[in-house]
């Protein structure tokens, strides 16, 4: 029903808002559309995806591997007779020789006093420029020193004749003073053979002392008994050997080994210096020279491995306790160490052979490989006894791609 209202020239239609309930269909509240909310499971999917991406990023950015290797160690009882050549360039064992001298001294308390008469002693070189014929000298041949005093030879000797090129024949001789006393102590002297005075041989057969002439003494002096003297000299010898041995080791070039018994001490002059005794203390000095036989460790190890290890394939090994092995030089008493060219010796003891392996090649083989392939790669390295692999993060199933992401620890003894 419409009513038309005219007001001030404006036409207005009014619609009756009343509705016939019987004519219109009924509407339920449930039929009314409401705004839709995002479903909760979609949010969980987004969060899960983000977490997975984060974990993947961590595994790529922070992937690390730590590998601990235990090398193969084989202990073998050795008793090997070997030879070595000085400064040899071959693969056989070789050695170098080092010579070092020194002295040790101590002051010993004198046990009593005694009147002594001690003759000075020394060494002289006697020369023959007279002829090519040898000259024989008897024991106690008198030598007239340039200090005007007489000394004597300690034994019978022969001076060789001149050589064809005019070089004088020569021989070394021990000498001692004709009388006891400090007056015969001297620095280097020249000598004439007293018995040839007035003959042509007097000027052509002569001598020169080798170093000083010392030890002459007479009068009342503090006395060191033989037992105490022997004990002190033994202690000085041991101390000198230890000191010189350390000096050799400190100067030893890399790649060489010096066994304890391969350092031989030659004891030189021993001097009980009664002249400088003071307040009842007598100085005792011992001089000596140490000859060190430095063996090339790599060559020696390879020879020992070839002789002692079963199925040795030539791969690199080293002996971790090399210095603990016992070295014994054959015919030691006949070796002239100052001129030695080759040596024969024995090495014995329980040697620990440790295998080395190519670390960089091994790392190159495992980079980027699956964790499952690790043991198969490891089996190609016989020098490895066992290994432990740790990956970070723990869910990683493959090794890193880059060398800097791998930490390799080898437990070499």
Are the C-beta atoms of 348 and 259 separated by less than 8 Å? no
Q: 164 and 209: one domain? A: yes
d(CA 259, CA 269): 26
33-80 pLDDT, tens digit each: 555 555 666 767 666 765 655 555 555 556 899 999 999 999 999 999
Q: 123 and 212: one domain? A: yes
- E-assigned strands of 297-380? 317-319, 326-329, 342-355
346-377 pLDDT, tens digit each: 999 999 999 998 999 999 999 999 999 999 99
Answer yes or no: is 155 within a domain: yes
DSSP H helical ranges for 13-80:
40-61
Q: What is residue 112's predicted lDDT score, i.e. its pLDDT?
A: 81
Answer yes or no: is 232 within a domain: yes
Q: 123 and 203: one domain? A: yes
Q: 163 and 247: one domain? A: no
**Which of 270, 294, 318 lies at the terminal end of a domain, its last residue?**
294
C-alpha closest to that of 120 among 177, 62, 204? 177
What is the chain's alpha carbon radius of gyration, rounded to the nearest angstrom? 49
Q: 198 and 141: one domain? A: yes
254-274 pLDDT, tens digit each: 999 999 999 999 998 788 877
Q: What is residue 61's predicted lDDT score, i.e. its pLDDT?
A: 54
Answer yes or no: is 205 within a domain: yes
Q: 226 and 103: one domain? A: yes
Beta bridge partner(s), residue 157: 137
Taking the model in full, what pTM does it have?
0.63
Domain that holds residue 163: 114-219
d(CA 188, CA 126): 14
Is the pLDDT score of 29 beyond 50?
no
Strands 73-86 and 94-109, sheet pairing? parallel
Cβ burial, residue 393 (10 Å; 0-12/13-18/19+): exposed
Number of domains in the chain: 2
Q: 264 and 192: one domain? A: no
Answer yes or no: is 277 within a domain: yes
Is the pLDDT score of 86 beyond 60?
yes
Reduce the DSSP state of residue 220 to 3 states and report it: strand
Beta bridge partner(s), residue 87: none
306-350 pLDDT, tens digit each: 999 988 988 899 999 999 999 999 999 889 998 899 999 999 999
Q: 119 and 182: one domain? A: yes
């Amino acid at each position: 029903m419409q009513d038309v209202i005219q007001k001030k020239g404006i036409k207005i239609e009014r619609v009756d808002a009343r509705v016939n309930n019987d004519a219109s269909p009924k509407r339920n509240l449930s039929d009314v559309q409401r705004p839709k909310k995002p479903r909760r499971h979609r949010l969980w999917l987004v969060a899960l995806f983000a977490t997975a991406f984060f974990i993947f990023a961590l595994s790529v950015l922070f992937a690390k591997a730590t590998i601990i290797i235990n090398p193969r160690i084989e202990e073998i009882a050795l008793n090997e007779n070997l030879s070595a050549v000085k400064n040899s360039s071959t693969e056989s064992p070789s050695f170098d020789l080092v010579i070092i001298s020194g002295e040790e001294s101590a002051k010993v308390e004198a046990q009593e006093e005694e009147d002594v008469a001690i003759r000075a002693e020394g060494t002289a070189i006697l020369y023959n420029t007279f002829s090519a014929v040898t000259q024989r000298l008897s024991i106690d041949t008198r030598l007239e020193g340039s200090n005007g005093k007489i000394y004597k030879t300690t034994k019978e000797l022969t001076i060789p004749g001149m050589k064809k090129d005019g070089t004088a024949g020569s021989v070394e001789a021990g000498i001692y003073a004709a009388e006891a006393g400090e007056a015969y102590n001297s620095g280097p002297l020249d000598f004439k053979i007293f018995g040839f005075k007035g003959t042509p041989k007097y000027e052509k057969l002569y001598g020169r002392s080798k170093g000083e002439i010392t030890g002459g003494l007479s009068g009342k002096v503090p006395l060191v008994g033989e037992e105490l003297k022997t004990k002190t000299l033994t202690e000085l010898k041991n101390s000198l050997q230890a000191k010189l041995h350390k000096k050799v080791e400190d100067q030893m070039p890399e790649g060489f080994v010096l066994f304890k018994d391969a350092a031989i001490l030659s004891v030189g002059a021993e001097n009980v210096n009664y002249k400088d005794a003071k307040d009842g203390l007598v100085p005792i000095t011992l001089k000596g020279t140490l000859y060190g036989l430095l063996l090339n460790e790599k060559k020696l190890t390879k020879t020992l491995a070839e002789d002692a290890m079963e199925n040795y394939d030539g791969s690199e090994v080293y002996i971790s306790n090399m210095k603990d092995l016992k070295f014994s030089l054959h015919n030691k008493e006949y070796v002239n160490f100052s001129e030695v060219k080759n040596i024969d010796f024995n090495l014995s003891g329980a040697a620990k052979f440790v295998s080395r392996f190519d670390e960089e090649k091994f790392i190159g083989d495992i980079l980027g490989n699956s964790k499952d392939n690790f043991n198969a790669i490891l089996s190609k390295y016989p020098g490895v006894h066992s290994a432990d692999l740790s990956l970070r993060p723990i869910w990683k199933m493959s090794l890193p791609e880059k060398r800097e992401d791998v930490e390799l620890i080898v437990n070499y003894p």
